[in-house]
Amino acid sequence: MKLQQLLSYTRKAIDDYGLIDEGDKIAVGISGGKDSLTLLCALNALKRFYPKKFEIYAVTVDLGFKNLDLDKIKAFCKDLDVPYYIIETDIAQIVFEDRKESNPCSLCAKMRKGALNEKIKELGCNKVAYAHHKDDVVETMLLSLIYEGRFHTFSPKTYLDRMDITVIRPLLYMNEMDVIGFVNKNNLPVAKSPCPVDGYTKREYAKNLLKQLTAETPGVKERMFTAIVRSNMESWPPYVGKKVSGSSHE
């Protein structure tokens, strides 16, 4: 995938759901994975010509695993001229050694978001951008159906009133395969996750399930995504962009 295509998907999501406003200061959560680096590239390129002026800052929460190398990402952000901040934490020790959590993902996510939000406020940012794409949206819906018995997924835009921060997801319309194509074409410096449960979570189960469903019934992911967009879920913000007749995002 070329940068122009990436920008097209990203801008459509931003315009459709009013994700960016004039003067926004946006922290981009950088895990080191393919999705967050793609999002950083998209927003950094978009801010050069988008009619609403905004600033971006790259932020990584270092969980404290000893084998996470962020040097290439530091250099990458420097080349993009994007300020990069690393938050040092002991989350890995607390979750895996002190608490020995049987379900480590929940506590880890809570602590990681807490550390990230604290840094965001310190930087004076009013928004944080997460790199969730279309596959993530559908996989989360499947997880909610299977384990919670409800039709739910995360929203393109969520206001966190306790922190006075708005979460935005500009890669909403991107397929994971598009992200992989962009990363490979542009040789982005992806840092492999050092987490010992990476690839062995319920999220991974949902990912494999979606792949199986798509193989058996081509187009099912798009239809699921369209159902989500049209569902009028309470958490889903109103569509503010120009609707195009026949569009799957209508």
pLDDT, one tens digit per residue, over 141-160 is 999 999 999 999 999 999 99
**Pairwise CA distance, residues 58 & 102, whole Å:** 31
Neighbours of 55 (CB within 10 A): 16
Minimum mean pLDDT among 6-20, 37-51, 170-184, 198-212: which range?
A: 198-212
- pTM, entire model: 0.91
- The pLDDT assigned to 232 comes to 80
Using only the alpha carbons of the chain, give its radius of gyration: 18
- Contact criterion met (CB below 8 Å) for 82 and 25: no
Residues 85-143 pLDDT 10s: 999 998 888 888 888 777 788 888 889 999 999 999 999 999 999 999 999 999 999 99
- Mean pLDDT for the stretch of residues 1-13: 94
For residue 216, the one-letter residue type is E
Of 96, 92, 31, 33, nearest in space to 66 by CA = 92
The stretches of the chain forming alpha helices (DSSP H) are 3-17, 34-46, 71-80, 91-92, 104-123, 134-148, 176-186, 202-216, 220-229
Instruction: Determine the average pLDDT of the residues in 60-65.
Output: 89
Cα atoms in the 13 Å half-sphere on the side-chain side of 36: 23
Distance CA 51, CA 20 (A): 10
pLDDT, residue 99, reads 81
> In the predicted model, what is the mean pLDDT of the chain?
90
Q: Mind listing the domains of the chain with CATH numbers?
A: 3-229 (3.40.50.620)
